């Protein structure tokens, strides 16, 4: 699949581009299917986007249909929500505590629980929320992803067991070099999405963005393996992160 690449001027511009993409996807999903199902990412750029979402609408903008938006997470560190490394906790501080989001619309990964039990519980949560059977895969309207400096995305790291998972929706993934467990959605879920949006900004992401968007490496970088079967694949970059892309 050929990705759509959008290059914004700076971080502020990138946040606005991502904000408009998310709003357009939300309104379209609610209009056609009655709800908008989104999986969120951690990282500085997404959190800036979440703070932007929490702001009052600008003149002429419609308020987001908060009651029809369901919020999920693409991955989570195995820590409590109060931990500064918690994706959910940081999203709560940036957005959830400032927007009229019904509690029933929040579907967080329980990083404080036993990793294997938390992964199984989240798979059950996904199947219930999407009303899909044991052999079906939920279809998100939008999944936000980042790109790690080593090419990982969500908590799909090179060499980790989760890369080969093709049946489970969510797994506990042991990252040996970090001596830590992570919870992560799997490729079957990502590849079923109607849209995937990678966000990357800054000079530090220029090299890895060029590698991910370049020729398929051997072995492939985890971010290169994301391939929506019937959806959009977007890379939203600022000028610094896009500086090494081949034109």
Query: Tens digit of pLDDT for each residue in 38-56?
Result: 999 998 899 999 999 999 7
Q: What is the pLDDT of residues 140-187, one digit of tens each?
A: 999 999 999 999 999 999 999 999 999 999 999 999 999 999 999 999
Mean pLDDT of the chain: 95
Quote the CA–CA distance of 206 and 212 in Å, as a whole number.
10
Average pLDDT over residues 203-222: 97
Helix (H, G, I), strand (E, B) or coil at 47: helix
pTM of the model: 0.96
Percent of the chain with pLDDT over 70: 98
Bridge partners of 144, per DSSP, are: 197
Q: Given a cut of 60, is residue 3 above it in pLDDT?
A: yes
- The pLDDT of residue 1 is 67
Percent of the chain scored above 90 by pLDDT? 94
pLDDT of residue 222: 98
The radius of gyration computed from the CA coordinates of the chain, to the nearest angstrom, equals: 17
Phi, psi of 110 (to 5 degrees): -90, 85
DSSP symbols for 126-169: HHHHHT--TT-----SEEEE---TTS-BTTB-TT-GGGG--S-S
Could you tell me if 76 and 183 are in contact, meaning their C-beta atoms sit under 8 angstroms apart?
yes
Query: Are 144 and 194 spatial neighbours (Cβ–Cβ below 8 Å)?
Result: no
Helices and strands, counts by H and E, the chain = 6, 9
The candidate with the shortest Cα–Cα distance to 90, out of 50, 32, 130, 127, is: 50
Q: Are 154 and 197 in contact (CB under 8 A)?
A: no
219 upstream amide cis, omega within 30 of 0: yes
pLDDT confidence tier of residue 2, bands split at 50, 70 and 90: confident
Domains of the chain and CATH, by start: 4-54+65-231 (3.40.50.1360)
Q: What is the reported pLDDT for 109? A: 98
Give the whole-angstrom CA distance, residue 52 versus residue 4. Answer: 23
- Torsion on CA atoms 68, 230, 187, 2, rounded to nearest 10: -120
Q: What is the pLDDT of residue 246?
A: 81
């Amino acid at each position: 699949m050929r990705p759509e690449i959008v290059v914004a001027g700076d971080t502020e511009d990138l946040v606005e581009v991502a904000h408009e993409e998310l709003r357009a996807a939300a309104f379209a999903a609610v209009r056609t299917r009655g709800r908008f199902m989104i999986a969120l990412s951690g990282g500085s750029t997404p959190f800036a986007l979440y703070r932007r979402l929490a702001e009052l609408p600008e003149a002429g903008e419609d308020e987001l249909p908060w009651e029809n938006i369901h919020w999920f997470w693409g991955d989570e560190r195995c820590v409590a929500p109060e931990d500064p490394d918690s994706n959910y906790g940081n999203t709560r501080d940036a957005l959830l505590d400032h927007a009229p989001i019904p509690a029933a619309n929040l579907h967080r990964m329980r990083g404080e629980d036993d990793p294997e039990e938390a992964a199984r519980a989240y798979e059950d949560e996904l199947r219930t929320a999407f009303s899909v059977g044991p052999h079906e895969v939920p279809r998100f309207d939008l999944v936000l992803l980042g790109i790690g400096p080593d090419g990982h995305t969500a908590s799909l790291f090179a060499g980790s067991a989760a890369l080969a998972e093709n049946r489970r929706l969510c797994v506990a993934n042991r990252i040996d070099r970090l001596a830590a467990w992570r919870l992560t959605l799997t490729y079957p879920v990502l590849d079923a999405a109607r849209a995937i949006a990678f966000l990357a900004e800054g000079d530090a992401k220029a090299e890895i963005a060029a590698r991910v968007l370049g020729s398929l490496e051997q072995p492939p970088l985890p971010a290169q393996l994301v391939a929506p079967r019937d959806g959009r694949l977007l890379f939203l970059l600022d000028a610094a992160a896009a500086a090494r892309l081949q034109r």
